[in-house]
Amino acid sequence: MNASLAPAHSPFGGSVATRVLRCPASVGLVEKVPVHLRRSSAYAERGTALHSAVALLFDDNGPSLESLVGRTIGDYAITHGDVENSLRPVFTHITALLDAPGTEFYLEHRVGFPTIPGAYGTADLLIRIGNTIHVVDLKFGAGVRVTALTPDGDEDVINAQLLFYAAAARHSLREFFAGVETVVLTILQPMSIEADAEMVSSVEVGHAELDGFIAIYRTACEEALSEFPRLARGHWCRFCAARPICPAHTGPLLDLAQFVGPAPAGPNFSILAPPPAKEAYLQLLTGEERECTRPRALMGRNRAVVFPGARHLPKRRADR
Ligand code: SF4
Protein backbone atom coordinates (compact mmCIF):
# COMPACT_ATOMS: atom_id res chain seq x y z
CA MET A 1 0.00 0.00 0.00
CA ASN A 2 1.33 3.44 -0.85
CA ALA A 3 2.40 5.73 1.91
CA SER A 4 0.48 8.97 1.62
CA LEU A 5 0.21 12.24 3.46
CA ALA A 6 -3.40 12.57 2.36
CA PRO A 7 -6.15 12.20 4.98
CA ALA A 8 -7.49 8.67 5.42
CA HIS A 9 -10.83 9.56 3.84
CA SER A 10 -11.49 11.70 0.80
CA PRO A 11 -14.73 13.74 0.63
CA PHE A 12 -15.01 12.41 -2.95
CA GLY A 13 -13.57 8.94 -2.35
CA GLY A 14 -14.80 5.62 -3.66
CA SER A 15 -16.69 4.62 -0.54
CA VAL A 16 -18.92 7.71 -0.81
CA ALA A 17 -19.21 7.81 -4.61
CA THR A 18 -22.84 6.70 -4.69
CA ARG A 19 -23.84 9.33 -2.14
CA VAL A 20 -21.96 12.10 -3.96
CA LEU A 21 -23.63 11.17 -7.25
CA ARG A 22 -27.12 10.97 -5.78
CA CYS A 23 -26.87 13.83 -3.30
CA PRO A 24 -24.06 16.29 -4.10
CA ALA A 25 -25.18 18.55 -1.21
CA SER A 26 -24.12 15.84 1.23
CA VAL A 27 -20.43 16.70 0.72
CA GLY A 28 -20.78 20.14 2.29
CA LEU A 29 -23.19 18.95 4.97
CA VAL A 30 -20.85 16.17 6.10
CA GLU A 31 -18.09 18.76 6.49
CA LYS A 32 -20.33 20.61 8.97
CA VAL A 33 -20.55 17.59 11.25
CA PRO A 34 -17.84 17.70 13.94
CA VAL A 35 -15.23 15.02 13.43
CA HIS A 36 -15.87 13.40 16.82
CA LEU A 37 -19.50 12.80 15.77
CA ARG A 38 -18.32 10.96 12.66
CA ARG A 39 -16.79 8.13 14.70
CA SER A 40 -16.89 4.72 13.11
CA SER A 41 -19.31 2.11 14.44
CA ALA A 42 -18.52 -1.33 15.81
CA TYR A 43 -19.61 -2.72 12.44
CA ALA A 44 -17.12 -0.49 10.66
CA GLU A 45 -14.34 -1.54 13.04
CA ARG A 46 -15.10 -5.18 12.31
CA GLY A 47 -15.05 -4.50 8.57
CA THR A 48 -11.72 -2.69 8.80
CA ALA A 49 -10.22 -5.52 10.85
CA LEU A 50 -11.38 -8.19 8.41
CA HIS A 51 -10.01 -6.22 5.45
CA SER A 52 -6.65 -6.06 7.23
CA ALA A 53 -6.84 -9.78 7.98
CA VAL A 54 -7.30 -10.56 4.27
CA ALA A 55 -4.23 -8.49 3.44
CA LEU A 56 -2.27 -10.42 6.10
CA LEU A 57 -3.38 -13.76 4.68
CA PHE A 58 -1.86 -12.95 1.29
CA ASP A 59 1.41 -11.64 2.71
CA ASP A 60 4.53 -13.72 2.14
CA ASN A 61 4.70 -15.95 5.24
CA GLY A 62 1.23 -14.72 6.25
CA PRO A 63 -0.68 -16.33 9.14
CA SER A 64 -2.97 -19.33 8.76
CA LEU A 65 -6.71 -18.74 8.84
CA GLU A 66 -7.03 -20.63 12.11
CA SER A 67 -4.36 -18.53 13.82
CA LEU A 68 -6.40 -15.38 13.24
CA VAL A 69 -9.08 -16.45 15.75
CA GLY A 70 -8.70 -14.22 18.80
CA ARG A 71 -6.26 -11.82 17.13
CA THR A 72 -7.10 -8.17 17.76
CA ILE A 73 -6.76 -5.78 14.85
CA GLY A 74 -7.50 -2.20 15.73
CA ASP A 75 -10.15 -2.47 18.45
CA TYR A 76 -11.73 -5.63 17.10
CA ALA A 77 -10.98 -9.22 18.13
CA ILE A 78 -11.54 -11.69 15.28
CA THR A 79 -13.88 -14.53 16.18
CA HIS A 80 -14.16 -18.13 15.05
CA GLY A 81 -17.34 -17.15 13.21
CA ASP A 82 -15.53 -14.39 11.36
CA VAL A 83 -12.92 -16.84 10.15
CA GLU A 84 -15.33 -19.58 9.10
CA ASN A 85 -18.18 -17.49 7.71
CA SER A 86 -16.34 -14.51 6.25
CA LEU A 87 -12.58 -14.90 5.88
CA ARG A 88 -12.44 -18.51 4.71
CA PRO A 89 -14.93 -18.13 1.80
CA VAL A 90 -13.24 -14.91 0.66
CA PHE A 91 -9.76 -16.45 0.99
CA THR A 92 -10.83 -19.50 -1.02
CA HIS A 93 -12.36 -17.39 -3.80
CA ILE A 94 -9.36 -15.05 -4.11
CA THR A 95 -6.88 -17.93 -4.00
CA ALA A 96 -8.64 -19.55 -6.95
CA LEU A 97 -8.40 -16.29 -8.92
CA LEU A 98 -4.72 -15.85 -8.10
CA ASP A 99 -3.93 -19.44 -9.13
CA ALA A 100 -4.37 -18.56 -12.82
CA PRO A 101 -1.00 -18.54 -14.65
CA GLY A 102 0.72 -15.17 -15.01
CA THR A 103 -1.51 -13.40 -12.50
CA GLU A 104 -0.42 -10.04 -11.08
CA PHE A 105 -2.27 -8.30 -8.29
CA TYR A 106 -2.43 -5.40 -5.84
CA LEU A 107 -4.03 -5.68 -2.40
CA GLU A 108 -5.29 -2.65 -0.44
CA HIS A 109 -3.83 -0.20 -2.91
CA ARG A 110 -4.39 3.58 -2.77
CA VAL A 111 -5.56 4.94 -6.13
CA GLY A 112 -6.30 8.50 -7.23
CA PHE A 113 -9.26 9.46 -9.37
CA PRO A 114 -8.46 11.39 -12.58
CA THR A 115 -9.41 15.08 -13.03
CA ILE A 116 -10.54 15.54 -9.40
CA PRO A 117 -7.80 16.60 -6.96
CA GLY A 118 -8.36 15.07 -3.54
CA ALA A 119 -10.47 12.19 -4.84
CA TYR A 120 -8.81 8.93 -3.92
CA GLY A 121 -9.61 5.62 -2.33
CA THR A 122 -8.18 2.25 -1.44
CA ALA A 123 -9.03 -0.57 -3.80
CA ASP A 124 -9.33 -3.87 -1.93
CA LEU A 125 -7.98 -6.06 -4.71
CA LEU A 126 -6.88 -5.56 -8.31
CA ILE A 127 -5.99 -8.65 -10.31
CA ARG A 128 -4.71 -8.86 -13.86
CA ILE A 129 -5.21 -12.14 -15.70
CA GLY A 130 -4.17 -11.85 -19.35
CA ASN A 131 -5.94 -8.83 -20.84
CA THR A 132 -8.58 -8.71 -18.13
CA ILE A 133 -8.48 -6.72 -14.89
CA HIS A 134 -10.61 -7.78 -11.96
CA VAL A 135 -11.55 -5.01 -9.54
CA VAL A 136 -12.76 -6.70 -6.36
CA ASP A 137 -14.41 -5.02 -3.41
CA LEU A 138 -14.93 -6.93 -0.16
CA LYS A 139 -18.06 -6.35 1.90
CA PHE A 140 -18.06 -7.86 5.37
CA GLY A 141 -21.29 -6.30 6.58
CA ALA A 142 -24.35 -8.54 6.58
CA GLY A 143 -27.15 -6.05 7.18
CA VAL A 144 -27.25 -4.54 3.70
CA ARG A 145 -26.80 -6.65 0.60
CA VAL A 146 -24.48 -4.96 -1.90
CA THR A 147 -24.10 -6.15 -5.48
CA ALA A 148 -22.20 -5.09 -8.59
CA LEU A 149 -25.55 -4.37 -10.23
CA THR A 150 -28.50 -3.05 -8.26
CA PRO A 151 -31.98 -3.58 -9.71
CA ASP A 152 -33.89 -0.30 -10.04
CA GLY A 153 -37.18 -0.63 -11.88
CA ASP A 154 -36.46 -2.14 -15.28
CA GLU A 155 -32.78 -1.24 -15.10
CA ASP A 156 -29.66 -2.46 -13.33
CA VAL A 157 -27.40 0.28 -11.99
CA ILE A 158 -23.65 -0.37 -11.87
CA ASN A 159 -22.11 0.00 -8.43
CA ALA A 160 -20.46 3.45 -8.30
CA GLN A 161 -17.77 2.43 -5.82
CA LEU A 162 -16.51 -0.26 -8.19
CA LEU A 163 -16.55 2.16 -11.15
CA PHE A 164 -14.60 4.66 -9.04
CA TYR A 165 -11.90 2.15 -8.12
CA ALA A 166 -11.63 0.88 -11.70
CA ALA A 167 -11.28 4.38 -13.17
CA ALA A 168 -8.84 5.43 -10.44
CA ALA A 169 -6.76 2.27 -10.76
CA ARG A 170 -6.53 2.69 -14.53
CA HIS A 171 -5.32 6.25 -13.95
CA SER A 172 -2.86 5.39 -11.16
CA LEU A 173 -1.49 2.08 -12.51
CA ARG A 174 -0.98 2.74 -16.20
CA GLU A 175 1.50 -0.06 -16.83
CA PHE A 176 -0.70 -2.54 -15.00
CA PHE A 177 -3.59 -1.57 -17.30
CA ALA A 178 -1.54 -1.47 -20.53
CA GLY A 179 -3.23 -3.58 -23.21
CA VAL A 180 -6.22 -4.39 -20.99
CA GLU A 181 -9.47 -4.80 -22.91
CA THR A 182 -11.91 -5.87 -20.25
CA VAL A 183 -12.56 -4.86 -16.67
CA VAL A 184 -14.63 -7.12 -14.44
CA LEU A 185 -16.14 -5.38 -11.42
CA THR A 186 -16.86 -7.76 -8.56
CA ILE A 187 -18.27 -7.58 -5.06
CA LEU A 188 -17.55 -10.39 -2.63
CA GLN A 189 -19.97 -10.40 0.28
CA PRO A 190 -19.71 -13.65 2.19
CA MET A 191 -22.58 -12.94 4.61
CA SER A 192 -25.89 -11.31 3.91
CA ILE A 193 -29.18 -10.78 5.65
CA GLU A 194 -30.82 -12.15 2.51
CA ALA A 195 -31.21 -15.90 2.61
CA ASP A 196 -29.50 -17.80 -0.25
CA ALA A 197 -27.72 -14.65 -1.47
CA GLU A 198 -24.78 -15.40 -3.76
CA MET A 199 -21.40 -14.35 -2.37
CA VAL A 200 -20.13 -13.12 -5.74
CA SER A 201 -21.71 -10.56 -8.06
CA SER A 202 -19.95 -9.17 -11.14
CA VAL A 203 -20.41 -6.94 -14.14
CA GLU A 204 -18.07 -6.50 -17.10
CA VAL A 205 -17.28 -3.01 -18.45
CA GLY A 206 -14.93 -1.52 -21.03
CA HIS A 207 -12.87 1.63 -21.28
CA ALA A 208 -15.76 3.70 -22.64
CA GLU A 209 -17.81 2.98 -19.52
CA LEU A 210 -14.95 4.11 -17.29
CA ASP A 211 -14.49 7.27 -19.40
CA GLY A 212 -18.20 7.98 -19.12
CA PHE A 213 -18.16 7.51 -15.37
CA ILE A 214 -15.22 9.90 -14.97
CA ALA A 215 -17.21 12.63 -16.72
CA ILE A 216 -20.35 11.96 -14.69
CA TYR A 217 -18.52 11.85 -11.39
CA ARG A 218 -16.59 15.02 -12.10
CA THR A 219 -19.88 16.79 -12.85
CA ALA A 220 -21.34 15.61 -9.54
CA CYS A 221 -18.26 16.80 -7.64
CA GLU A 222 -18.45 20.19 -9.33
CA GLU A 223 -22.08 20.43 -8.32
CA ALA A 224 -21.14 19.47 -4.74
CA LEU A 225 -18.91 22.54 -4.57
CA SER A 226 -21.40 24.85 -6.24
CA GLU A 227 -23.63 27.33 -4.42
CA PHE A 228 -26.82 25.30 -4.59
CA PRO A 229 -26.02 21.60 -4.90
CA ARG A 230 -28.83 19.10 -5.21
CA LEU A 231 -30.09 17.54 -1.97
CA ALA A 232 -31.83 14.21 -2.46
CA ARG A 233 -32.68 11.55 0.08
CA GLY A 234 -32.78 7.86 -0.63
CA HIS A 235 -31.14 4.57 0.25
CA TRP A 236 -27.72 6.31 0.06
CA CYS A 237 -28.63 8.24 3.24
CA ARG A 238 -28.15 5.10 5.35
CA PHE A 239 -24.45 5.71 6.03
CA CYS A 240 -24.40 9.50 5.58
CA ALA A 241 -22.74 11.27 8.52
CA ALA A 242 -24.80 14.40 7.81
CA ARG A 243 -28.11 12.72 8.53
CA PRO A 244 -28.54 14.27 12.03
CA ILE A 245 -28.32 17.80 10.56
CA CYS A 246 -29.74 17.13 7.11
CA PRO A 247 -32.78 19.29 6.25
CA ALA A 248 -34.20 16.42 4.20
CA HIS A 249 -34.50 14.45 7.44
CA THR A 250 -34.87 17.15 10.09
CA GLY A 251 -36.57 19.77 7.90
CA PRO A 252 -40.08 19.55 9.34
CA LEU A 253 -38.67 20.13 12.84
CA LEU A 254 -35.55 22.21 12.61
CA ASP A 255 -33.11 23.19 9.89
CA LEU A 256 -29.90 22.38 11.77
CA ALA A 257 -27.87 22.71 8.57
CA GLN A 258 -28.07 26.47 9.01
CA PHE A 259 -25.54 26.21 11.82
CA VAL A 260 -22.29 27.69 10.63
CA GLY A 261 -19.42 25.22 10.53
CA PRO A 262 -15.94 25.22 9.03
CA ALA A 263 -15.87 25.69 5.28
CA PRO A 264 -15.24 22.43 3.42
CA ALA A 265 -11.63 22.06 2.32
CA GLY A 266 -12.52 20.58 -1.04
CA PRO A 267 -10.50 20.69 -4.25
CA ASN A 268 -10.24 23.84 -6.31
CA PHE A 269 -11.93 23.00 -9.59
CA SER A 270 -10.50 26.03 -11.31
CA ILE A 271 -7.22 24.12 -11.59
CA LEU A 272 -8.75 20.93 -12.94
CA ALA A 273 -7.67 19.50 -16.21
CA PRO A 274 -10.44 19.01 -18.75
CA PRO A 275 -12.13 15.61 -18.71
CA PRO A 276 -9.85 13.25 -20.62
CA ALA A 277 -12.44 11.40 -22.59
CA LYS A 278 -15.26 13.75 -23.38
CA GLU A 279 -15.71 12.31 -26.87
CA ALA A 280 -16.25 8.86 -25.45
CA TYR A 281 -18.84 10.22 -23.07
CA LEU A 282 -20.62 12.15 -25.83
CA GLN A 283 -20.84 8.95 -27.82
CA LEU A 284 -22.79 7.53 -24.94
CA LEU A 285 -25.07 10.54 -24.83
CA THR A 286 -25.85 10.28 -28.52
CA GLY A 287 -26.43 6.58 -28.33
CA GLU A 288 -23.52 5.52 -30.53
CA GLU A 289 -23.41 2.23 -28.76
CA ARG A 290 -21.61 0.38 -31.50
CA GLU A 291 -18.53 2.49 -30.77
CA CYS A 292 -18.53 1.50 -27.14
CA THR A 293 -17.92 -1.61 -25.18
CA ARG A 294 -21.21 -2.45 -23.57
CA PRO A 295 -21.41 -3.34 -19.92
CA ARG A 296 -22.21 -7.00 -19.73
CA ALA A 297 -23.93 -8.37 -16.70
CA LEU A 298 -22.32 -11.59 -15.59
CA MET A 299 -25.42 -12.67 -13.75
CA GLY A 300 -27.29 -14.23 -16.67
CA ARG A 301 -29.75 -11.35 -16.90
CA ASN A 302 -30.99 -9.31 -19.84
CA ARG A 303 -31.88 -5.86 -18.59
CA ALA A 304 -30.84 -2.30 -19.25
CA VAL A 305 -27.56 -1.46 -17.48
CA VAL A 306 -26.91 2.18 -16.56
CA PHE A 307 -24.44 4.33 -14.71
CA PRO A 308 -25.47 5.45 -11.25
CA GLY A 309 -27.10 8.86 -11.33
CA ALA A 310 -27.29 8.89 -15.14
CA ARG A 311 -30.95 8.48 -15.93
CA HIS A 312 -30.67 10.89 -18.85
CA LEU A 313 -28.58 8.37 -20.78
CA PRO A 314 -30.39 6.39 -23.46
CA LYS A 315 -31.33 2.98 -22.20
CA ARG A 316 -28.74 0.39 -23.02
CA ARG A 317 -29.30 -3.29 -23.04
CA ALA A 318 -26.96 -5.72 -21.42
CA ASP A 319 -25.69 -8.58 -23.55
CA ARG A 320 -27.12 -11.95 -22.80
S1 SF4 B 1 -28.78 12.34 4.76
FE2 SF4 B 1 -29.30 11.86 2.63
S3 SF4 B 1 -30.34 13.69 1.83
FE4 SF4 B 1 -29.22 14.27 3.70
S5 SF4 B 1 -27.22 15.02 3.01
FE6 SF4 B 1 -26.98 12.83 3.51
S7 SF4 B 1 -27.33 11.79 1.56
FE8 SF4 B 1 -28.16 13.86 1.30
Q: What is the DSSP string of 277-311?
A: THHHHHHHHTT-GGGSPPPEESSS--SEEE-TT-T
Confidence check: pLDDT of 287 > 70: no
Average pLDDT over residues 17-21: 95
Which segment of 80-94, 189-203, 207-221, 295-309 scores lowest on mean pLDDT? 295-309
Confidence check: pLDDT of 78 > 80: yes
Confidence check: pLDDT of 256 > 70: no
Say how far apart CA 74 and CA 70 lie, in whole Å. Answer: 12
Calculate how far, in angstroms, residue 310's C-alpha sits from the geometric centre of ligand 1.
18
Ligand 1: residue whose CA is nearest its atom 1: 243
Cβ atoms 126, 135 nearer than 8 A = yes
Closest atom of ligand 1 to CA, residue 236: 7
Which segment of 118-132, 165-179, 189-203, 221-235 scores lowest on mean pLDDT? 189-203
Ligand 1: residue whose CA is nearest its atom 2: 237
pLDDT of residue 281: 36
Using H for helix, E for strand and C for coil, what is the string for 183-210? EEEEEECCCCCCCCCCCEEEEEECHHHH
Cβ atoms 148, 159 nearer than 8 A = yes
Confidence check: pLDDT of 145 > 50: yes
Residue from 29, 38, 245, 256 whose mutation best tests the ligand 1 pocket (most atoms within 8 A of CB): 29
Confidence check: pLDDT of 306 > 80: no
Quickly state the pLDDT bin for 34 (edges 50, 70, 90): confident
Question: Residues 146-160: pLDDT tens digits?
Answer: 899 988 888 889 999
State the pairing for strand pair 132-138/182-188: parallel
Say how far apart CA 112 and CA 164 lie, in whole Å. Answer: 9
CB count in 10 Å sphere of residue 213: 27
Average pLDDT over residues 97-111: 94
Calculate how far, in angstroms, residue 275's C-alpha sits from the geometric centre of ligand 1.
27
DSSP string, 213-258: HHHHHHHHHHHHTSSS-----SGGGTT-TTGGG-HHHHTTT--GGG
Confidence check: pLDDT of 314 > 70: no
Calculate how far, in angstroms, residue 33's C-alpha sits from the geometric centre of ligand 1.
12
Sign of CA dihedral 163, 188, 44, 107: negative
Confidence check: pLDDT of 29 > 90: yes
230 CB under 6 A from ligand 1? no
Say how far apart CA 315 and CA 265 lie, in whole Å. Answer: 37
pTM here is 0.80
Ligand 1: residue whose CA is nearest its atom 5: 26
Confidence check: pLDDT of 232 > 70: yes
210 CB under 6 A from ligand 1? no
Average pLDDT over residues 270-297: 38
Residue from 240, 245, 258 whose mutation best tests the ligand 1 pocket (most atoms within 8 A of CB): 240
Task: Report the share of the chain in percent with pLDDT over 70.
Answer: 73
pLDDT of residue 39: 64
Mean pLDDT of the chain: 80
Side-chain half-sphere exposure of 175, counting CA atoms within 13 A: 3
237 CB under 6 A from ligand 1? yes
